[in-house]
Structure 1
Amino acid sequence: MTDLLRVARSRPDSDSGQPFRIPESRYHTQNTDSVLCRPVCRKTPGHVASPVRFISHALRKTGSAARILGITAALMAMITPPVTHASTDRVQQASGISTKASKALMLDITRAGPALLAAGDRGYILRSIDQGMSWQQIATPVSTALTDLWFVDEQHGWATGHGGVVLHTSDGGSSWKLQLDGHQINHMTLRFYEQEKQSLENSLDQLDDIAREDAELVLEELEFKLEDAQVATEEGAGKPLLSVWFKDRNQGWVVGAYGMIFHTTDGGQSWQPAMSRVPNPDGFHFNSIGQLSGDTLFMAGEAGTLYRSDNAGADWLRLDSPYEGSFFGFQWLAQHNAVIAYGLRGNAFISYDQGDSWHALDVPGKESVMNAIATADQLILLGGSGSVWQADLKQSNHQTKPELQRIRLPRSLPISSGLKVSDNLLALTGLGGIRLINWPVDQTARQHQKQ
């Protein structure tokens, strides 16, 4: 894994040709798995996935390294957020209409009423009104990679991306406006930690000795975070937002690298930092956020971090984790009152008590799981190296875990996200854009082809 870490840290930025600039403190203290992994996706109710926000141009530059280390590792390496001025430039530059957009790296796909929308590299957003048979590129105000999509109805949706961008549409994805970017995030974060530090300093004289000692430790941590915020402000819009979820047209959340989390109550017109609500002293990345049911929200992130809020995000509880590697996303199974969390090297777990306890699932091949799709009676997991697994949920319950079967596709390409277009059609995104797959896949025909 140290070789993978070296590749991830030295990888050129996709547009600038400049190397990643990783804060030295992160280099020495961060979990190796988490440094390599960042995610995306969703696209069925209860799904909050997100995995591979990789960059195709950078993949080409990795050349033999990608072949040696494996395509999954290369894709994960692309996710690590660069802090570069090139990212700042892409935040300020609109995406151009390109004939290459349809074959570009697509990181997420979702449904907005009868329309399908996909988002990915260079600010590209594609829209289809014929169930994925054809796609139209939609202009956007940024040219930085877009990582996640979420719609609350046919018209109103949001997208997140590198450079801390949040885009919004109110016409079903036919046009997009910039609501937030990394410059605003940097200044918001700086003010937030300045105010937190000042408030704590003002309260020290009112505390007894024991409480004062604890407060001084917190104050020291705030000073470090304030220094990081000051550096980020100087460097520009470099940190990516990785996941977005809205309850309705007004209340929503975005999360991202280094523990960024922001909340809005006015549809994204204004945002409030919510870092103080989440116990995340190490600043691990938040990879996905979403709803289980009612006011119960859930987050998954790097270094095995899982969080649940039982009061619509007012505060968050860090859950005991079944493993220490990165989680890319989670899938809520409403009919079973269960949640599945998934991540690196085939690690996937199911909980029947909203994350209080977990049971490991057997993922054949132990390939990293990047996304999930669920229907009333079927679970589909999507792999970073192109594998797909399915389980019949009608045969599973609290006593019987879903039994995953590996499905071999006609052509294996890295997958970032997917959705069921219809009972007989699956749409997958990743390298090369969007693929439509007949579902279920005829495994008998595949076996005959091999022979």
Structure 2
Amino acid sequence: MRFSIALFLGAALLGLSLPTCHGGGGQERVEREGLARLTQRYRLYDVQYVGDHVFAVGFPGLILHSGDRGATFEFQEGGLGEALLAVDFVDEANGFIVGRDGLLLSTTDGGKKWDLLPTGVKEPLFDLDFVDSRNGWLVGNFGLILHTSDGGKTFERQTVKEEEDEGDSGSAVDSPGSAADSGSASGG
């Protein structure tokens, strides 16, 4: 289930949930001022909850993980310094992240190790949805839809009829044939 990152940050700034972040040398408590500094240094774009785990992604190459429902967070390696725009986990072990320049990352161990998977595109990928660890869709600019049925090893480009797409929106599917997430830059 996805929650708005603005809601997540708003709740944290109001003191409803103040996470800690791992900066390499042990965990330090991030109070309101510390959280504000963290959000000035990093841009957070997406968050996903799966069981007791929370994953958040952003820029530059930010991957945050919590194993205690957001009480504490730690940085995970693998972001490559790129803008990471969306995260989707199908269970606590198997997850995917998309970002700029056709970036797709995959993990099978809850984010301890992230692998870069080639998508064959250079356009930014804005959202994704996997129905299981093998079947998923990635969406980007100008009606770009990529489908995989082998966990991201290969992709099939799917198209939207030009008269149905104005080039500024995208959707990800929750199950074959049903839209789950969508957005539009023009408000339409």
Identify the residue that residue 309 of structure 1 maps to in structure 2. 66
Q: Does 1:358 align with 2:107?
A: no
- Greater relative contact order, per chain length (Cα 8 Å cut-off, separation 6+): 1
| C-alpha contact 1:351 1:357 (8 A) present in aligned 2 | yes
Change (3 A) 1:409 1:313: same
Question: 1:91-118 CA deviation, whole Å, 9 max, x = no partner?
Answer: xxxxxxxxxxxxxxxxxxxxxxxxxxxx
Counterpart residue type for residue 302 of structure 1: F
- Alignment partners' CA distance in 2, 1:308 and 1:417: 25
- Alignment partners' CA distance in 1, 2:158 and 2:112: 31
Q: Does 1:300 align with 2:57?
A: yes
Identify the residue that residue 20 of structure 2 maps to in structure 1. 277
Q: Does 1:389 align with 2:138?
A: no
- Alignment partners' CA distance in 2, 1:304 and 1:321: 7
Within the candidate set 155, 161, 171, 1:410 is matched to 161
Within the candidate set 339, 342, 346, 2:102 is matched to 346
Counterpart residue type for residue 144 of structure 2: S
Matches within 5 A, 1:99-114: none
Shift in Å, 1:384: 2.8
Shift in Å, 1:320: 1.2
- Alignment partners' CA distance in 1, 2:176 and 2:77: 37
DSSP 3-state at the match of 1:272: coil
Shift in Å, 1:415: 2.5
Counterpart residue type for residue 48 of structure 2: G
Stretches of structure 1 lacking an aligned partner (at least 5 in a row):
1-44, 49-149, 151-159, 161-241, 245-253, 256-260, 265-270, 435-451
- Alignment partners' CA distance in 2, 1:276 and 1:311: 10
DSSP 3-state at the match of 1:372: strand
- Alignment partners' CA distance in 2, 1:310 and 1:425: 30
Identify the residue that residue 46 of structure 2 maps to in structure 1. 288
Change (3 A) 1:364 1:313: same
| C-alpha contact 2:78 2:115 (8 A) present in aligned 1 | no
Displaced runs of 4 or more, over 2 A: 261-264, 273-276, 278-283, 414-420, 422-429, 431-434
DSSP 3-state at the match of 2:101: helix
For normalisation by structure 1, the TM-score amounts to 0.33
| C-alpha contact 1:418 1:429 (8 A) present in aligned 2 | no
| C-alpha contact 2:130 2:137 (8 A) present in aligned 1 | yes
- Alignment partners' CA distance in 1, 2:56 and 2:153: 22
Q: Does 1:337 align with 2:93?
A: yes
- Alignment partners' CA distance in 1, 2:76 and 2:66: 10
Q: Does 1:262 align with 2:11?
A: yes
| C-alpha contact 1:373 1:379 (8 A) present in aligned 2 | yes
For normalisation by structure 2, the TM-score amounts to 0.74
| C-alpha contact 1:345 1:369 (8 A) present in aligned 2 | yes
Identify the residue that residue 430 of structure 1 maps to in structure 2. 184
Stretches of structure 2 lacking an aligned partner (at least 5 in a row):
24-37
Change (3 A) 1:276 1:344: same
The structure in which a higher percent of residues are helix is 1
Percent of paired sites with the same residue: 14
The structure in which a higher percent of residues are strand is 2
Answer with 1 or 2: which has the greater Rg. Answer: 1
Change (3 A) 1:433 1:364: farther
Question: 1:216-255 CA deviation, whole Å, 9 max, x = no partner?
Answer: xxxxxxxxxxxxxxxxxxxxxxxxxx444xxxxxxxxx13
| C-alpha contact 1:298 1:307 (8 A) present in aligned 2 | yes
